[in-house]
Structure 1
Amino acid sequence: MKNISVQSFKSVLQQCFGSKSIPKKIAIGLSGGPDSMLLVWLLSKYKSYMQDDTVELHAITIDHNYRPESTIEAEQISQVMQRWNVKHTIKKLNYNVDPKTIANFEEVARTKRYEAIRSICNTLGISIVVLGHHCDDQVETFVQRLQGNSSIFGLACTRQVSNIPLTEDLDPSQLSTFSPVRLVRPLLAFEKKTILSTCKLNGIPYVVDPTNNDTKLTRRNYLRNLFGRLLPQMMVDFGSQEGKSCSGVAEVASTCFPYKSITKDELAKSQQECARLAQQFESKAYRLYRQLLRQHKFSESPEFGSLQMKLPKKCLIGYNKIITSKFLYQRLYPYSTLNHYHWAYAKLERGLLPKLESFLLSSRSAVVRYSIMNLIFEVTNNDSASEVEISITRAPLTRTELKISSFEVAINQYWSQWYLYDKRFWLRFKSLEETDSVITIGPYLHKIHSSIVSKSLKANSVVNIDKTLDTLPAIFQNGRIVAFPTLHIADTAIKTEWALKSNKYDFVDLTIS
């Protein structure tokens, strides 16, 4: 069995960082298990190997407070880090309830862990966190997503380099000081058995979390047991029943057809192929966007919360729908009001795009409207043209949305805090007069509100105040509509600043910078 040498680890690091040099400050997510302990050891040895004392290693242990032993284990890990001359930070998490009662604890714990790591990294001025995810983790994730009928992008699983995901939208003031924290996973090519073997060879201590063996706790634990113990034994038993004379699991795998396609090695190959395809599709989707921009066939009207495009019809046919779905997914987040936008890709690929393809193949000139993701897609097809026109606007608000969209703001001569209106527009206000006042921010609905729009506002407006403004934020004061903040038209002594929410799902070049 091959072990992980410092030289091979150096090669993987160079692959992760590309042409960039290794950062002078690196954080390591340290659980205390064999994966993360080996990672710290390898980075320490790499630092010595390169004879670079300027590199600082900071290990970060997040104590989820799930087991009573976790605090003692974290302190034991800290002693090892001290011997290895690695700075160590322990952050103990607190939950409002007993974590054992949280049904989706794995997901909740991941979110809280990343939030804590980002906070610590921002304090320490660190932009890179190295994690110990390995090949077996990828296989487990791959199977989970297969079972969940995931898209090709979900089946790509965990990337070697990614950003810590944002759980909340950042307002403009937060964005001005925000810098992403990159996650780097240099052990993805290595199996768990290789990691354990390397730890044993080099006497690397680690903690064994007994909850990892509880197959009823998480789906991942069940799969880990399936691929690590049950399936290999089933293959051996099958080989014996068939009268095979096999010296080991690898040989049995080549002869036991019923199980061969779901061995860890075969699943890893499938996952890697999905990752390769997903990366190609994602890059092509971004290139499509850049091409449309250059040709002036993609335009946004953020003040109206809308966008327009002219797409080549071939983009909506056959396998090209995957690329176009990803293109739309990359562009629509600022305009969509979905609570869980990460599910939107499936809605596009499996809902909207097949309808568009069917519409185009019907070979008729017409205009159709589709409602999806709280957006209206108005599609104009000219049968003799090579392109299709698509206009995307906010869908009409539901009764529930109408109730929760309005809110009051107390204003004075100082800027208010930022408010996120309708999950689309960031707004803040201040009074141009010395007196304090209270205003209401709510959605404009022409059918209901046209009669209460200020006459002066109507007379001096540079846009038509009609149903095209429906769902846009309006300022209500003393029973009248006195301003449309995103359109910069007002009949009131109130100053407004606004911005469309930032696009968390835009294409990102994940090379280290």
Structure 2
Amino acid sequence: MGPVKLTQNALSSPTRRITVAEFACALLKRWVPERRGRDTLGLAISGGVDSMALAALCSQLQDLSQSSVHTPKQSSLRPLQFRAFIVDHGLRAGSALEAEAVSRVLEGRDIKNQILKIKWPEQGSLADLPNFESLARKYRFRLLGRACRDLGINSLLLAHHEDDQAETILMRLALGQGANGLTGMKNPAGIPECYGIHGVYESGGYVVEHRGNSTLSPSSLPRLNSPSERQLPIETGGIRVYRPFLHFTKSRLIATCLAENIEWFEDHTNKEPTTTMRNAVRHMYSNHSMPAALSKPALLALSERLNDTAARRSHIVQSWLTKCKITRFETSTGIVNVQFADLSDSWEPEHARPPVDTGRIAAHILREIILLVTHREHVELSSLHRAVQQIFPEVCQHGGQNPQPIAFTASGVYFQPIPTTLRQRETPNFIYEKPVWILSRQPYKPNSLDRIEIDVQAIRNSWSQWYFYDGRYWIRVQNLGTSPLLLKPFNPEQLAEFRATLEGADDKRASELRLRWQLKNKAPAKVRYTLPAIMKSEGGKETIIALPSLDLRIPGVMVRWEIRYKKIPSQTLANRVSRMP
């Protein structure tokens, strides 16, 4: 049976509605305006009671923010505008008509909106796929992310509420997730399922003014970032999702819709307990008496305690990060030189052992530094046990001599120590200091090279899309020639060929010296073979024509590029490295 309008099921509910003042406080507690003038926020609307309550409150807040009358508490409220996105999954008969009906309701509330239709791959019954729920989630968020990006919207509001949060925690508990998972849905958070989409996933905030036109001669083809810049620009931005209803129950959302006399649309498949894990959990809560430890209040209290613990730990980690000495950060090659803080400096003299949580704090510190360099999207704390032993021996050693550091690899990053020399150690006044470590991207494994190759799709004289190369560089290319282009890792066999081609330049001596200097000082040893190369494919042969991160090209090549380093997740580290020369 298809969805039906619901306006009568909860007419007798005594539950109090959510006021616009409550909603504004919940939103502004997490969301901070970024621009001057009017801000536009996106709304993810399904047509269900949760999202229609969100639309109703946003409509009121939009009117209030644009009026000249404010209460003292709202005196700082800036003009707001909301743009709703209605996702039509196209899997049920009548879904398109329902989306249009939702659109008309929103228009009646002065909420501008558009309908986004998922284009499914052509295959059998999608609903029967074992991963259907995760596929639908991925397609939905990618549609929402691109729609927000195209309209210059950086913030997307979701209608997840307190009951959803409790259900999420129970599902994660059943799946055996640890403390981080049991904190529940984050507010705010980066938009999920959009890895690698420029302007949506952790990018799009760095803006370059384009000058001139694309009809250029080979001699006037520098990359758009000035060659005089020592470092590549570092990306910022990305779309954030906010969940202002996480401290409101579903019953209050229903009461809000009833009080506002706004229609909503019920999808009966959401009540079928055998279709999804969440439906099964909802069925249990609705039809069974749950143990006290698994009640919604108990799960929400657990989440709150874990979030408080995580917040305190994060504060400690950020404090220790400021004590780590980053002496070098080469965005062009992804090299970091760092001397990690000595965590024993915080211990009381009478304590022979480190505090209980020190090992976990050490792992968090290490993860933040690793994220400067690694190509991986996520770094699991559980994978860093051996790395913590190497970097923070004070956490694991109780007295005795500090071990000699050795090179190792962790989470896709190669750690190479610069140890103190034997002569330094034998100096009478020698005071032990932790070694400086050189961090770089782990050398490629032979079986991973094909997965990194990118076929640059670009119409001649037009910019390609942005590619997230190897999880480290955002690159786009403008091909002004006729041969197809590829992005691939630079490899040892290409070095001699590239050097010989540079020797054909008019200033061949200067070009060769520049190449040698760049490789020696910025990309020593195997680091150079983790860099992106632009290749020309012609007659079945691939020829290297540029190393974009080093701003090196063969003479006369008809190509230009923009390249930026990935966004740095830690704001503490981002502020520090942005000030480095």
Q: Give the TM bin, normalised by the shorter chain.
A: 0.7 to 0.9
- Are the aligned partners of 1:402 and 1:443 in contact in 2 as well (CA < 8 Å)? yes
Contact 1:412 1:436 in 2 (8 A): no
- Which of 181, 186, 192 lines up with 2:250 in the alignment? 192
Superimposed CA distance per residue, residues 2-27 of structure 1 (whole angstroms, 9 cap, x where no aligned partner): 41341433433443446999965444
Q: 2:207 aligns with which of 159, 168, 176?
A: 176
- Relative contact order (C-alpha < 8 Å, sep 6+): which is higher? 2
**Equivalent residue in structure 2 for 1:15, among 29, 33, 39:** 29
Residue 398 of structure 1, CA deviation: 1.4
Instruction: Tell me how far apart the structure 2 counterparts of residues 44 and 411 of structure 1 sit (CA, whole Å).
Output: 42
* Change in CA separation of 1:423 and 1:179 when aligned onto 2, cut-off 3 Å: closer
Partner of 2:343: 314
**Deviation of 1:445 (Å):** 4.9
Name 2:404's counterpart in structure 1.
366
- Structure 1 residues 17, 168: closer, same or farther in 2, change over 3 A? closer
Distance 1:30 1:358, change over 3 A: same
SS in 1 for 2:196: coil
Counting only pairs closer than 5 Å after superposition, residues 45-444 of structure 1 correspond to structure 2 as: 45-47=60-62, 52=67, 55-96=80-121, 97=123, 98-165=125-192, 166-170=194-198, 175-176=206-207, 180-200=238-258, 203-230=261-288, 233=289, 259-292=291-324, 296-314=325-343, 319-333=357-371, 335-338=373-376, 341-342=377-378, 344-349=379-384, 352-353=387-388, 356-357=391-392, 361-362=396-397, 363-379=401-417, 385-405=432-452, 417=464, 421-426=469-474, 442-444=488-490
Distance in 1, matches of 2:150 and 2:395, equals 54
Is the contact made by 2:443 and 2:526 (CA closer than 8 Å) also made in structure 1?
no
- Tell whether 2:550 aligns with 1:487: yes
SS of the aligned residue for 2:244 comes to coil
In the superposition, the TM-score normalised over structure 1's length comes to 0.75
Q: Which residue of 2 aligns with 1:245?
A: none
In structure 1, what is the Cα distance between the partners aligned to 2:474 and 2:278? 39
Q: Which of 476, 479, 499 is the equivalent residue of 1:454?
A: 499
**1:191 deviation in Å?**
1.7
Pick aligned residue for 1:34 from 49, 60, 66: 49
Are residues 393 and 12 of structure 1, via their aligned partners in 2, closer, same or farther at CA, if it must alter by over 3 Å?
A: closer
Distance 2:315 2:87 in 1: 34
- The CA RMSD over aligned residues, in Å, is 4.3
Give secondary structure in 2 for the equivalent of 1:390. Answer: strand
Mapped contact 2:330–2:336 kept (Cα < 8 A): yes
Check the 8 A contact 2:359/2:395 in 1, yes or no: no
Cα offset for 1:451?
5.8
Distance in 2 between residues matched to 1:409 and 1:197, nearest whole Å: 52
Contact 1:452/1:479 (8 A) holds in 2: no
Unaligned runs of 5+ in 1: 235-258
Equivalent pair of 1:396/1:471 in contact (CA under 8 Å): yes
- Cα distance 1:488–1:136, how it changes in 2: closer, same or farther (>3 A)? same
In 2, Cα distance between equivalents of 1:18 and 1:453: 49
Higher helix share: 1
Distance (Å, rounded) in 1 between the aligned partners of 2:463 and 2:46: 42
What is the percentage of aligned positions where both structures have the same residue? 20
Aligned length: 474
Which residue identity does 1:78 align to in structure 2?
Answer: S
* Structure 1 residues 93 and 428: alpha-carbon distance in aligned structure 2, compared to 1, 3 A threshold: closer
Q: 1 CA distance for matches of 2:549 and 2:95?
A: 51
Distance 1:272 1:381, change over 3 A: farther
Change (3 A) 1:199 1:501: same
Q: Please, which of 14, 17, 22 is the counterpart of residue 4 of structure 1?
A: 17
Does the 8 Å CA contact 1:312/1:388 hold for their aligned counterparts?
no
What is the distance in 2 between the residues matched to 1:482 and 1:490? 6
**1:91 Cα deviation from its structure 2 partner:** 1.9
CA 1:358–1:151 in structure 2 vs 1: closer, same or farther (change >3 Å)? Answer: farther
SS, match of residue 310 in structure 2: helix
> Equivalents in 2 of 1:203, 1:408: separation in Å?
53
Q: What whole-Å deviation, never above 9, does each CA across 1:9-50 have from its counterpart, x for those lacking one?
A: 343344344699996544432212111122222333445667
Change (3 A) 1:19 1:276: farther
Deviation, structure 1 residue 270: 0.9
Q: Give the direction of change, closer, same or farther, for the CA distance of 1:346–1:211 in structure 2 (3 Å limit).
A: farther
Q: Is the 8 A contact 1:334 1:501 kept in 2?
A: no
Contact 1:334 1:500 in 2 (8 A): no
